[in-house]
Chain A
Amino acid sequence: MFKKILFATTGTPSCDSAARVAFDMAKRYNAELVTINVFGVPSRSFSQTVTDIRTGDEVDLHDDRLEEIKNELEKTYVQLIKDYTPCETVVTVGIPHTEILRLARKKEIDLIVIGARTSAEENENSVNRHIVGRTLQSVARSARCPVLVIGRTAASFWGGISNIVFGTDFSKASDEAFKFAFNLAQTFNSSLHLFHAIDISADPFEITKNQEVIEDRIRDAREKIRSKYLSKMEGFNDYEIDVWEGIPYVEIVKYARESFADLIVMSHHTKKMDPEKAVLGSTVEQVVLRSNAPVISVNHPARQKKQ
């Protein structure tokens, strides 16, 4: 299922967890691994001066500079490379998300692995700690393949995919995420949790005033999961259906923790939303930042690479 994995890194400690997941997955699933580092943005077209993405400094780009960075990067991941040698390292200059997406298309990548934040963004004020990186947002929005995001520094991959949580909001994009999650569960012989969180935080219909209304909605949601997804899971019995009420991203993170999830699969909706809301309000982005399990964001069906 994952024959080619692209790991996008800045080479800083903030990408260490993502590195471990990328290398572990490549090794475990016998995939080809390509590591990409976008070193800097050219200050002008064809300029030999680039702005270093990590430091913000202007740096002259000598002929050997990219090779030096490549060696530096390979040294950073020497322990991981030692255990898994069939990997390629690409260092380039340009706008990070453009270069990542370009390489993903060129190499026909099945999965992009990326950290949720760059180190530069981590150093900003505390408000921004609840916002995913701009590169991730752009990559997740436009990638043709699923994007696996490692949000928290501690988020790790504890020994393969055996327990998948699929979080749905019943949208069309969620249908595509379901197809991917189910395919994944079948391929890796994993348990699949079909989960929906009823949003009572905004309470537009004042449903929290009446517990019966909440429980009716839970029953309706369970029925919707059955009718929408179970019909497509013939012969697959290792699943559970759960519906909780609360703030969706909180409930998904809690549910994943309580069910020992190795992986969360969700759809990414930001393309349809107001940019302000996409940054601050998206459930998948909050799950990415808070969850202890890696999160795979699946994009619009037309853009998803055929499995």
Chain B
Amino acid sequence: MAKKIMIVDDDPAIVKYLENLFKNNGYETCVARDGSEGVGIVKKEKPDLITLDLEMPEEWGPRFYRKLSKEKEFKNIPVIVISGLSGNKYAIHKAVASLTKPFDKDKLLTIVKETIGE
């Protein structure tokens, strides 16, 4: 069964790019456009990994992650931060990696494979 990656980002272009990238590499995907709808989608979709933007209109990534970390069943889902903000590696200290936009897709895929397998 294919592993599922949840993309949390408000930029439709990034979402589309990541969806194609992951699907082309054998992963399933699901999307939350904002942190505020993120926890509901996590509960519904039960992803194996989350890519998380930081700056989003309604609810920023760190606040979403804080809510997620209170959910016993989901708090250990690995998170990869993908953001254009400087210092993004300090935003979520438990993230498995932090990538700065524009990011290297091969590097992202390597991290994904190392984290949840192919």
Contacts and interface: CB of A to CB of B under 8 A. Distances in A.
Contacts of A159: 54-56, 59-63
A170 interface: no
A156 B60 contact: no
Nearest to A17: B87
B86 A154 contact: yes
Interface in A1-43: 16-17
B93 A158 contact: no
B63 A162 contact: yes
Kindly state the interface size class of chain B when it binds its partner: 10 to 19
B17 interface: no
Contacts of B54: 158-159
Nearest to B64: A159
A208 interface: no
A158 B69 contact: no
A154 B87 contact: yes
A156 B87 contact: yes
A158 B86 contact: no
Interface residues of A, number: 16
B90 A156 contact: yes
A179 to B, nearest CB: 25
B95 interface: no
Interface string A147-161: 000001111101110
Nearest to B58: A159
A16 B65 CA distance: 25
A9 B61 CA distance: 28
Contacts of A262: 62
A257 B62 CA distance: 12
B66 A156 contact: no
B85 interface: yes
A260 interface: yes
A168 interface: no
B77 interface: no
Contacts of A292: 90, 93
A299 interface: no
A162 B60 CA distance: 11
Contacts of A152: 90
B93 A257 contact: yes
Contacts of A267: none
Interface string B79-100: 0000001110111010000000
Contact of A260 (B59, B62, B86, B87): B62
A162 B69 CA distance: 15
B114 to A, nearest CB: 25
Contacts of A17: 86-87
A67 B54 CA distance: 37
B30 to A, nearest CB: 22
Interface in A40-65: none
Contacts of B91: 156, 158
A270 interface: no
A163 interface: yes
Nearest to A162: B63
A155 B91 CA distance: 9
Nearest to B35: A159
Nearest to A293: B90
A260 B90 contact: no
Contacts of A260: 62, 65-66, 69
19 contacts: A16-B86, A154-B90, A155-B90, A156-B86, A156-B90, A156-B91, A158-B62, A158-B63, A159-B54, A159-B55, A159-B56, A159-B63, A160-B60, A163-B66, A257-B93, A260-B62, A260-B65, A260-B66, A260-B69
Given A158-B54, A159-B55, 20 more contacts: A17-B86, A152-B90, A154-B89, A154-B90, A155-B87, A156-B86, A156-B87, A158-B61, A158-B62, A158-B91, A159-B54, A159-B59, A159-B60, A159-B62, A160-B60, A257-B93, A260-B65, A260-B66, A262-B62, A292-B90
